[in-house]
Structure 1
């Protein structure tokens, strides 16, 4: 339930809709008044849904603002003072953007509309205060949201540039590593082919040389690939943190990581990779706690998340 809470919080703002709806239901209404009032409520709910949408369009706050004011126009003649909730909503919607110069006139228009509305300026002062307060809150949240998006874009661009640089480095290393060797292999193979009939012994010698060079190249390539994989536990832990951050899961390391024997690092790295993959894909967690402890007879790697959990047979090692 806790992981759904952030997405449900904005829906609590609908509680203020109880004021116009309560005022409408408190008095018998004609069919025309009912149609007019509920049309206004429907327009407002559409504006509210648009405000909740993740659309980055600059028209989103403007359309939500306009919908809330249209709802006010449709309901104020039916419920009077109670319809003041809609300009308060409109001020919040209009301020949900990072452009302060564009947001300020929208909020000012809502405040003016409230002060000139039913009940008079004195009675509407608390509503005007709430309108300004809600607008400031949404304006601040919009700024935080934009900053978070800018940070995500910067991180994504940094990761892309790092990946491009790594690909270029690998391509350059492989070219330096294999370019000359493969050229020698091709030349010696061609020479051996020409000498098969004329000088079989020399051809066999060239073939043996090709085999030797090929084996040396294979050894060098394997060593290079091991370096690219970065199979150490620390490297895998860094990759795991990137994957968890991308999935919105916080990684907490509860103990200081002990030094690991060289032969054990790659094994624990694979265990960590598999465990983190399962957490990201299936757990729905918000936090993953990791501990690695040296115990009698070996090491214990423990991953504990706060997700849904499940039932599976216990693994034996």
Structure 2
């Protein structure tokens, strides 16, 4: 047998071996993950994500504080960091406590630069439940970086989360004992200092009298997102504390940043979220990879 023929047969056999193992590797030895097929069932329904950032698979977990977490809204799943320059993901969570939310746009400088993704993001000063359509002439950003809101800082930027610094302007009653010479009181107060609260409808309803650093009532925020493939999403972040969505239970001591958020996806040509979801909700718990159809189970 000719030497070239032997080499060809060997390579063909090697390929068959990889296929039979259900794995495909590139020249660098990377184990390529098959892309999860998208279904029309993702559209026009409430999707609740619980504990995003917990139990991330190998390759999905940030290596350091500078690395992002990547998420696909249309497949409600975490994405391997190897796919930064593909259209597989829509959102990136980065920065301090991963509180900066960016999007995947291959035409602008950012994490996804060089891909075919077209994602954009904007923030509305509107409760999530009141957003029924994509506003006309909405000023989108790409790649975005929606982070701390001006309500908790001295800036003028709208964001999805507030930081209370050394006090707590959401729950001032919880930090009154910090300067006292009572170690028990100080320990209790420390659990509510340096808090991050997502500006959700639940937060505003729970603490209707809360005021920001400028002395004005807190306002809820809703993110409007164009996905990497061009569909639309309305999204509300709810918590960064693992296992906690009730604002009354939020305090330091829980693992962070472990996100809870809810959203709805609509097709690009629809641009209307509707007044009522058309399908039963989905709750995806990232801690145990479970999906619940119907009423959310906390």
Instruction: Normalising by structure 1, report the TM-score.
Output: 0.23
Q: Which has the higher helix share?
A: 1
Instruction: Normalising by structure 2, report the TM-score.
Output: 0.24
Q: Which structure's CA Rg is the greater one?
A: 1
Q: Which has the higher strand share?
A: 2
